[in-house]
Chain A
């Protein structure tokens, strides 16, 4: 069974940093691009960042570019999101998602349960 388990969320002050991790299991991790998608409380879905299967390319939403860094460890089946200079607008549940198999299959399946990041003073 494919599983994605996020961790690392919590309460952080504006300007602070947080590192999210996602442990993947049940599939050949290095074969799949991975993304982070967030959902602010009561709001819609926002793609945040993606990384290719080999980790050779990364992509970011403009809203987080320069502040967030995505990385992966294919030996440990972990994808991470390092977040700096957090603002209240970053408050959301962050979901780790696997992209579809094959080039360009950028749909997301499955989704992890998510980890909640709250930025507040």
Chain B
């Protein structure tokens, strides 16, 4: 199985500042299409996760552009530029390169 390792486990950021969340996969998630099978989700307490980013850097329609995904190979980053109060949540990365799909352990973002 591909192991997804997120860091840090939690992160305290001031309003308006940048939050950076890292995700490392135990093996490459690059598809033959030259796209990385890596997604990011946001989960607020008591709510199901919501898709933010897929193919490592494609923002889902309607997601604010302060959220961006980057990375390649086995190392990926979710960046929140200009943190807003509503961004307080837990963030997960997921690889869908191979079954079983696997998730990182989550990163809790706080103010």
Chain A residues with a Cβ under 8 A of chain B: 35, 44-47, 50, 59, 61-62, 95, 100, 104-114
Whether B103 pairs with A44 at a CB distance below 8 angstroms is yes
B48 part of interface (Cβ distance < 8 Å): yes
The 4 closest A-B pairs by CB, nearest first: A106-B96, A111-B48, A107-B39, A109-B51
Given contacts A45-B49, A50-B99, A95-B49, 8 further A-B contacts (CB under 8 A): A35-B101, A44-B106, A45-B106, A104-B33, A104-B96, A107-B96, A108-B49, A110-B50
Whether B96 pairs with A95 at a CB distance below 8 angstroms is no
B64 part of interface (Cβ distance < 8 Å): no
Whether A44 pairs with B101 at a CB distance below 8 angstroms is no
Residues of B within 8 A of A110 (CB): 48, 50-51
Whether B94 pairs with A107 at a CB distance below 8 angstroms is yes
Residues of B within 8 A of A114 (CB): 48
Using CB atoms, name the residue of chain A closest to B53: A107
The binding surface of chain B is classed by DSSP as: loop
B13 part of interface (Cβ distance < 8 Å): no
Interface residues of B, count at CB 8 A:
22
Whether B100 pairs with A47 at a CB distance below 8 angstroms is yes
Write the B78-111 contact mask toward A (1 if CB under 8 angstroms, else 0): 0000000000000010101001111111100000
Whether A108 pairs with B39 at a CB distance below 8 angstroms is yes
Residues of B within 8 A of A47 (CB): 100-103
Whether B96 pairs with A46 at a CB distance below 8 angstroms is no
B44 part of interface (Cβ distance < 8 Å): no
26 cross-chain CB contacts under 8 A: A35-B101, A44-B92, A44-B104, A44-B105, A45-B49, A45-B94, A46-B103, A47-B100, A47-B101, A50-B101, A59-B100, A62-B100, A95-B48, A104-B31, A104-B33, A104-B37, A104-B96, A106-B96, A106-B101, A107-B54, A107-B96, A108-B39, A108-B41, A109-B60, A111-B48, A111-B49
Q: How far is the CA of A61 from the CA of B31 in the complex (A)?
A: 21
Residues of A within 8 A of B48 (CB): 95, 110-114
